Amino acid sequence: MSEQITLSLSEVKSLSESILTQHGFNADHANAITEIIYSNQLADCHSHGLFRLFMCTESIRSGRVSGTAQPIIEDAGPAVIKANAQDGVSLLAMQAAMPKLISKAKHNGIAALAINRCFHFSALWPEVEILSQAGLAGMAMLPSHAWVAPAGGTRGLLGTNPFAFSWPRDGQVPFTFDFATSQFARGEIELYRRAGKPLPEGVAIDQEGQPTTDADAAMQGAMLTFGGHKGSALSLMIELMAGPLIDDLTSKESMAFAEDKPEAPYHGEIILAFDPDLLSGGQRAANQQRAERLFADVIDQGARLPSQRRQAAQQRNLARNAVNIPKSLYDDLITLQSL
């Protein structure tokens, strides 16, 4: 393990905010982005924690990401909110629209938030957990770039298309998952490439559309979805739900828009909220117990709930009011802060 240093939780926040404002994000954007980076770092999700500040600052330096865009939030139907991020990072639009999504879901039983015209770099679990903190179930999905081939195909078309879900538990951390519909994350293949290690079977195809375990060939070719044709179908659904359904880009369109610039992908996102009170016909309490029996049955047979490891890290780091990060990352962040 590389040399680690310990940062207090308030240092995580202040370091993130200072780097973001230093690079041109206004206070509102810096706060919104920091909130999510902090959530990830608190949970030891290093890839989406402070490490993401490099992507944020590269994105704004490329010149197309607005650090001052004011999101426009409007009703698009009694149970639909549209949040136009106006070429900013998604997170300020998401945070501004979330209270409206919550109130619409509690009034209607179900509601949808479409975030449009946003640059996106963050994990989805903190977003659906905002809903579960409000007592709602939440679902979120979005495209990315066309790195992933559909089942039976030969080249990239689909994004790594994450899908997240959260269920509110009384007095406990929520049941949450957040997974890419690609078999591997893009960064994982890059790690294999750097380590010169062969990929497992079933992760990627080469430029000719043939199965490959060579990480270089995979980066030139395409990744595969998890779960064969079922994962591929799900990924196509995510393209539709977070693209054409809400008037925003598919992964292929997003990749063309990016023109190989080192930015976060530009596209849309859909978040759905479900009210257990209305949907259960007022039987929420009894059904919370039913859900708890389901979770207990998972754990009793030695299996894990999807986010158990992450949630344990959250609890641990909250209790000690600190996180550990690699010293090399810290040094790079301090350099970034002074650029």
Q: Other CB atoms closer than 10 Å to residue 36's CB: what's the count? A: 25
In sequence order, what are the residues at sequence separation of 6 or more whose Cβ sits closer than 8 angstroms to the Cβ of residue 142? 120, 124, 159, 161, 162, 238, 242, 267, 268, 269, 270
User: Residue 67 Cβ, how far from a copy of itself at the closest point, in Å?
Assistant: 25
User: Which of 29, 48, 120, 145 is an active site residue?
Assistant: 48
The one-letter amino acid code at 111 reads: A
Round to whole Å and give the CA distance between 314 and 308.
10
User: Which of 47, 107, 201, 328 is an active site residue?
Assistant: 47
Residues 169-208 that bind a copy of itself (CB under 8 A): 175, 177, 179, 181
Q: Looking at beta carbons only, is 60 or 149 nearer to a copy of itself?
A: 149
**Beta-strand relationship, 137-141 and 162-167:** antiparallel
What are the C-alpha distances in Å from 127 to residues 6, 36, 164, 327?
Answer: 26, 8, 9, 29
In sequence order, what are the residues at sequence separation of 6 or more whose Cβ sits closer than 8 angstroms to the Cβ of residue 171? none
∠ CA 275-281-284 to the nearest 5 degrees?
Answer: 60
Helices (H), 74-195: 90-108, 125-133, 186-195
What are the C-alpha distances in Å from 38 to residues 25, 63, 93?
Answer: 17, 25, 18
Stretch that binds a copy of itself, among 7-15, 60-68, 211-219, 248-256 (CB under 8 A): 248-256
| Burial readout 82-116 (b: 16 or more C-beta within 10 A, e: otherwise) | bbbbbebbbbbbbbbbbebbbebbbebbebbbbbb
Residues 109-128 that bind a copy of itself (CB under 8 A): 109-112, 114
Check binding of 157 to a copy of itself (CB under 8 A): yes
Check binding of 231 to a copy of itself (CB under 8 A): yes
Residues 29-88 that bind a copy of itself (CB under 8 A): 76-80, 82
User: Which of 46, 62, 188, 292 is an active site residue?
Assistant: 188
Q: Looking at beta carbons only, is 88 or 143 nearer to a copy of itself?
A: 143
Q: State both tokens at 335.
A: 């350099």
Q: State both tokens at 326.
A: 């690699």
Check if the beta carbon of residue 92 is closer than 8 Å to that of residue 125.
no
132 is catalytic: no
47 is catalytic: yes
User: Residue 71 Cβ, how far from a copy of itself at the closest point, in Å?
Assistant: 15
Quick one: which of 27, 294, 312, 334 contacts a copy of itself (CB under 8 A)? Answer: 294
Residues 314-333 that bind a copy of itself (CB under 8 A): none
Stretch that binds a copy of itself, among 47-55, 65-73, 85-93, 101-109 (CB under 8 A): 101-109
User: Residue 329 Cβ, how far from a copy of itself at the closest point, in Å?
Assistant: 28
188 is catalytic: yes
User: Residue 4 Cβ, how far from a copy of itself at the closest point, in Å?
Assistant: 28
Check binding of 336 to a copy of itself (CB under 8 A): no
Quick one: which of 201, 216, 230, 320 contacts a copy of itself (CB under 8 A)? Answer: 230
Quick one: which of 149, 217, 224, 325 contacts a copy of itself (CB under 8 A)? Answer: 149
Instruction: List active site positions.
Output: 47-48, 188
